[in-house]
Amino acid sequence: MSVRRSIVVMFILVVALPVIVFGARARNAANTNAVAQNAALQTLTVGRGSVELTVTAIGTIQADQSVSLSFSGAGRVTEILVNAGDVVRAGDVIARQVNTTQQIALDQALLALDLATIQRDQLLEGADAGQIAIAQANVDAAEAALYSISTAVSADDIRAAELAYQAAQQALADAVQARSTAAGGQPQEAYALLDARVGEATFNAETARLQLESLQGSNSGQVGAAAARLEQARRDLERLQAGPTQAEIDRAEALIAQAQLNVQQAQTALDRTTLTAPFDGVISTVNVEVGTLAAPGLAVVNMLDTDPLRLNVDVDEIDIRQIREGMNARVRLDALPEVQFPAVIERIALISNNEGGIVSYDVQLRLEQINDPRVRVGMTAEAAVVVDARDDVLVVPNLYIRIDRRTGKAFVNLVGENNMLEEVEVTLGLQGEDNSEILSGVREGDVLGVDLSGDSINIFGG
């Protein structure tokens, strides 16, 4: 080889070697970039699905109602039949007080009611043959007694007493006349004798008078009493034969009504010594022990009505116009993030809250079909109210969409050959929190991509 040829070959090697080395390095760098880009590229095939627009708000789970149960009267607690956390049904017995006095009063009232009922029934049944026979016998006996009394003192006896009285009065008059005639002309002894005769005649006349009055009074008084007894016996017989009057029936019914009222009052007093659940719910706390003297108004237990549970949330004034009562919602608890519960908006407050310049409205939701015992009052929960929805539309996750902040236009990246990304404009429909509806710009089956390295697009920005 000549010297000139050697110089040419050497020159070619000197010039070509850097070019070859640079080209190899460039190809290696390009391959490395392609591998890195492919590793950061996330793709999606456009398909059909559903899109929801939701309003979300956070609040706490509340019971439908909460009550404190107490006895209406003072008394020592004899039984407590529940513990905190127990599920009870309406009417279940919660606790009892000493009730001996109330039970005795009820027993007495029941006996009085039974007696009044028996008396009314006997009255309505009327008198039987035996009772009528007894009443007739009473009439006969009264008639006989009246006859006996009427004939015990005869008219002749009374006439004889009258004559004796008249004779005694005449003897008294004669004695008085004799003493008057002899006045002043007789010795003192004779005049004293005349006085004695007047005294004797006076005594005899008074005795005769009393005898006459005795016969007359005895006859008339006994006869009157006997006649009255006979009249009463006849009335009793007539009443039994005629049956009860309406007034008697009304009185018997009134006695029963009063007895029934007494039973009700006694039963109420007894019932007040037993504490029962007013509704289905859960015992939240038990505040007394057996043997405690429970005063009126002292909360024995606290009880929650958990059917249904409710969620109270604050909704921002910007979102409040999008919701209305009756809308459905989904509720997710912080303590149970894997579970969603259906709910319905029950009430939207008319008056706003303003705290720190933030205006919001109280919204109450009713949770439905809650059978999970893990759900408890006071838990923090988030409600998502579905305000609009589209079904069976082209859907693309918001991750794949870029919104130009200046123009408001939306873009996605189509994946081409060699995973090259081509940005195309799309028209958005309903925009949800995670997905958006695509009205135009791509078709079902198109493959979209997003460079997770951040070198390709700016999600929802530009």
How many residues appear in the chain?
Answer: 462
Strand runs (DSSP E) across 321-431, as ranges?
A: 328-333, 340-348, 353-355, 358-367, 380-397, 402-403, 410-415, 421-431
- Alpha-carbon distance of 343 to 38, in angstroms, equals 44
Burial of 422 from C-beta contacts in 10 A (0-12 / 13-18 / 19+):
exposed
Indicate if the pLDDT at residue 181 is higher than 70.
yes
Arithmetic mean of pLDDT, 365-390: 89
Tens digit of each residue's pLDDT (9 = 90 or more) over 70-126: 999 899 999 999 999 899 999 999 999 999 999 999 999 999 999 999 999 988 876
Task: Report whether 393 contacts 49 (CB < 8 A).
Answer: yes
Indicate if the pLDDT at residue 254 is higher than 70.
yes
Indicate if the pLDDT at residue 32 is higher than 70.
no
- Cβ atoms within 10 Å of 46's Cβ, excluding its own: 20
Task: Report whether 324 contacts 348 (CB < 8 A).
Answer: yes
Q: What are the CA-CA distances from residue 431 to residues 52, 427, 462 (Å)?
A: 8, 11, 18
Q: What are the CA-CA distances from residue 357 to residues 312, 348, 354 (Å)?
A: 21, 20, 6
- Alpha-carbon distance of 453 to 416, in angstroms, equals 18
Give DSSP secondary structure letters for 252-269: HHHHHHHHHHHHHHHHHH
Of 94-108, 145-159, 380-394, which gets the smallest average pLDDT? 145-159
Q: Which CATH class is domain 44-62+306-451?
A: mainly beta
| Phi, psi of 340, deg, nearest 5 | -115, 140
Give DSSP secondary structure letters for 351-369: S-EEETTEEEEEEEEEE-S
Arithmetic mean of pLDDT, 175-197: 73
Model pLDDT, residue 205: 81
Instruction: Name the pLDDT band for 365 (thresholds 50, 70, 90).
Output: very high
Model pLDDT, residue 17: 34
pTM, two decimals, is 0.51
Specify the CATH number for 66-98+273-304; select among 2.60.40.1150, 1.20.810.10, 2.40.50.100, 3.40.50.1980: 2.40.50.100
Tens digit of each residue's pLDDT (9 = 90 or more) over 331-362: 999 999 999 999 999 999 999 999 889 999 99
Domain boundaries, the chain: 44-62+306-451, 66-98+273-304, 127-243
- Alpha-carbon distance of 96 to 274, in angstroms, equals 4
Instruction: Name the pLDDT band for 445 (thresholds 50, 70, 90).
Output: very high
Tally of CA atoms within 13 A in the half-sphere of 160 that contains its CB: 6
Indicate if the pLDDT at residue 30 is higher than 90.
no
Indicate if the pLDDT at residue 172 is higher than 60.
yes
Model pLDDT, residue 104: 96
The more confidently predicted of residues 58 and 229 is 58
Model pLDDT, residue 9: 32
- Alpha-carbon distance of 204 to 386, in angstroms, equals 128
The more confidently predicted of residues 330 and 201 is 330
* Percentage of the residues of the chain whose pLDDT score is greater than 90: 50
Instruction: Name the pLDDT band for 241 (thresholds 50, 70, 90).
Output: confident
